[in-house]
A and B are shown apart, each in its own frame.
Chain A
Amino acid sequence: MIMTNVNTVPGKKIVEHFGIVQGSTVRAKHVGRDFMASLKNLVGGELKGYTELLQDSRKEAMKRMEEQAALMGANAVVNIRFATSSVAQGAAELFAYGTAVRVE
């Protein structure tokens, strides 16, 4: 599956549009990590646990989007956008959406 965030797939031609596909996931981290993060909050700097968590969740959201696109018979997703929102304390929603197309 080819993924881009531009209107086309550079170097290829779009032959068919299938419409919007999306994938989302809501994740929270476990208490231990939360505790470590609040300790790290005192001294500042990168929170590696959170970074990894969000990267994993974003991959998961992308995978769901990809599966949806594959069901439609697409072989590429163009114009992908990401969005993040915190739905509850300590939980974040990762959202990815794009247009499924078939390219040649």
Chain B
Amino acid sequence: MEILFQNLDLFIFIVLMTLGYSAGTWAEKKHYRSIKKREQELLKMAVVTAEGSFPDDRIAKAELVSGSVVVSIDYFKRLLAILRNIFGGRVRSYESLVDRARREAILRMKEQAKEQGAGMIINMRLETSTIGRSANKKKRVGSIEAIAYGTAIVMNQA
């Protein structure tokens, strides 16, 4: 017991790291499974970054749709990224974070378009920004926001 109190800060650090690692990995895997499943379901919804042109009489409605998500990184991965900063190279832990955020944002946009009965989304734009407490500090990214927006097109039945 004595040893535990003497090394309390180290002990807390280890607990946080294991918690971050186990919970973070579990959450990420679960998130990826749900992303893949929903991507399959929404495969038929075409999303393009081009504007395209349509014959006027075939379009019933055009409307802005958007989806956004804020995702944060776990304690363990943040540590990995700080270590990575020393040696340089690919920062895998952040790659998966950004990838997850963008795909989730696109999915939410697609879901919104589907609710309105749209068949496709044109001129899709993606944006990311860092938010939260660590937003203004260099080299410390805590959480990122991804937004996807575009124009949903509802076609007339020809």
Contacts and interface: CB of A to CB of B under 8 A. Distances in A.
Interface of A: 2-7, 9-13, 34, 37-38, 40-47, 50-51, 54-55, 58, 80-86, 88-90, 92
Contacts of A9: 62
A42 B75 contact: yes
B26 to A, nearest CB: 9
Interface in B115-140: 122-123, 125, 127, 129-133, 135-136
Q: Which of A41, A43, A44, A84 has the most CB of B within 10 A?
A: A44
B70 A5 contact: no
A43 B31 contact: no
Interface string B7-46: 0000000001001100110011001000000000000000
6 closest A-B pairs by beta carbon, nearest first, are A44-B74, A11-B59, A43-B23, A3-B64, A50-B70, A86-B135
Contacts of A4: 62-64, 151
Contacts of B131: 50, 54, 84, 86, 92
Interface string B132-150: 1101100000110101011
Contacts of A88: 136
Contact of A43 (B56, B57, B74, B129): B74
Interface of B: 16, 19-20, 23-24, 27-28, 31, 51, 54, 56-64, 66, 68-75, 77, 97, 104, 122-123, 125, 127, 129-133, 135-136, 142-143, 145, 147, 149-151, 153
B153 A45 contact: no
Contacts of A84: 127, 129, 131, 145, 147
A24 B106 CA distance: 23
A5 B143 contact: no
Contacts of B69: 46, 51
5 contacts: A3-B64, A50-B70, A84-B127, A84-B131, A89-B135
A34 B131 CA distance: 12
A7 B51 contact: yes
Contact of A3 (B59, B63, B123, B147): B63
